[in-house]
Each structure stands twice: as C-alpha cells, then as structure tokens.
Chains A and B, each alone.
Chain A
Amino acid sequence: MGQDGGRDQSEDEVSRRSFLKRSLGLAVVFVVAGIAAVTKSLWTPSGAPTGAFPKIKVANITDLQANGYVTFDYPLVGESNMIAKLGEAATGGVGPDGDVVAFSIICQHLGCIVGYEASNSHTPGPAGACPCHGSVYDLVHGAKVVAGPAPRPLPQVVLQFDEATGDIYAVGMGPPTIFGHNTGSPDVSYDLQGGTPVTQ
C-alpha cells in the first residue's frame, strides 16, 4: 500500500497509519466510557419511591398563633420538625396568609436541635437559631443560612392546608435531605430510610 515513491513517503505512511490507529483506539475507549456512565443507575442508591411519604395532620390553623410554634415528628419517628405561623408571607407558606411553614429542626451543620426565635438580628422576620455553633436560618425565605457554619438550608416540610376544616397536613419533604440521611443530597427519598415512618 505505501511502497510507491521514495522512502520518505512510506515512512510518512507508517507514522500516519500508526497515528490513526492509536486515535481510533482511543476514540473507541472514549465511546465505551461515555456509554458506561449509564451504569450509574446501578450503584447510585435510589431510595424509596417518592409516593411513600406519609400524610399526617400536624395542627389546626387555630392552634397556631402568630410567632407560636409546634413541634412534631416527620417523616420518621424521632426526627423533630417545627411548624410555625410567621406573621408574614413566607416561601412555601400555606394557610390564609401564606405564612404557615414547617422545617426540620435538625441543624444541617452537626445535627443539634435548632430553636425558634421570633426575631433575630440577622433576619427580617422569625429565625431558626442553633445554640451549638450559632447557625441562623431565615424562616421567611426557605430557612436559608444567614449566619454561622451551616452549609445549606433546613429541609422544608411540604404542607397542605384544608380550607374547609383548617387542618394542616404534612405530605412530604423538600430538598436537601434531613441531616443524617445522605446529608447534602437533593434526593429526598433518602429521608424515608433508616427509621419508622410516622403514622397518624
């Protein structure tokens, strides 16, 4: 194939063919590697089906006065959350004023229980303040971190408000996961693992 012409040409031929051969081999490796990424479906744990979050009644709207709060376990027994009527419209809030919100009170930093403060120097409205290392969460704005070492917001409980009866139900969790459940993952199905779901 490459034997016509001078020695220069056949050397060129050889090096060209060798280059192409190696490139082709590398290209095949890249294709296989790219396709292989789909096997992530095998070892990234997938958690329980999202439909499995329990639905429990947390409180009635009349029980919650402004700046009062109630604690409850959700979605697993022993994991505390707080529901409060903030007095001003908040992200993810339900109820007639859109100010009833609920969050996990297990601090995203190291797992201490977060306390409720009606006002705080770092936040415009009510805040969650952790006594251990000083993390402060702005409850009006989705419990985002405004002070302290916490790396991410508190997980918000998804609430449903029944207008006829005034009952408020917890029906799910928003991201991120509750502390201790593959902490930091956006996959909330981890919240259902490692414990007993609450029942009404």
Chain B
Amino acid sequence: MSARNEWGSTKILVLLLLAVQAVTVVFAWLLNPLGPKSETEYALLLAVDLVAFALISYVGRLGGSGKDPRESYVLAGSAVVLFFMFLVLLA
C-alpha cells in the first residue's frame, strides 16, 4: 500500500486539480462569447478542464484499486495542465 505521505501529496494534487477545474469552468462561463480571442481562450480553458479531469480520473482509478499511479504520467499530466494555463495567459 502507498505510504501515508505519498497519499497526502496525492490528496493535495487532486484538490489542486479540482480547484483548477473550478476556476476554468467559472472563467469559461464568464467569457464574452463573441470575438476570436474569446474562442481561443475558451478552447484552452476547456483543454485545461479536460486534462485535469483525466489526471484526477487516472489517480482515482489506480488509487481506488490499490495500485500506485505512475509518477511519469502524473508529472506529464501536470506539466500539460500548467502549459495550457500558461497559454491562456498568453492569449
């Protein structure tokens, strides 16, 4: 079974991802839907939302059946989320 502190960091990761999801959903609804810039922003926000979900689902699916999530996947997923969020700021 995973050690306690590993579970703690997983818990934090999941909560962070949920927070990121919440923020993207709020922004997606607040966007002014007309104009090319907002379309790009919406696409990126949705991308963040989706990848965050995929990561939570991966952790949840493996955590629930007792296996450890693969660290490389978690890191890659988090990197993609951060990258998309960075793109949102750029757009």
Contacts and interface: CB of A to CB of B under 8 A. Distances in A.
A140 B25 CA distance: 41
Interface in A27-76: 27-28, 30-31, 33-35, 37-38, 40-41, 44
A24 B57 contact: yes
Interface bracket on A: 20 to 34
A24 B35 contact: no
Given A27-B52, A27-B57, A37-B28, A20 B63 contact: yes
B81 interface: no
Contact of B22 (A9, A30, A186): A30
Contact of A21 (B7, B42, B60, B65): B60
Interface of B: 1, 4, 7, 11, 14-15, 17-18, 21-22, 24-25, 28-29, 31-35, 42, 45-46, 49-50, 52-53, 56-57, 59-60, 63-66
Interface of A: 1-2, 5, 9, 12-13, 16-17, 19-21, 23-24, 26-28, 30-31, 33-35, 37-38, 40-41, 44, 186-187
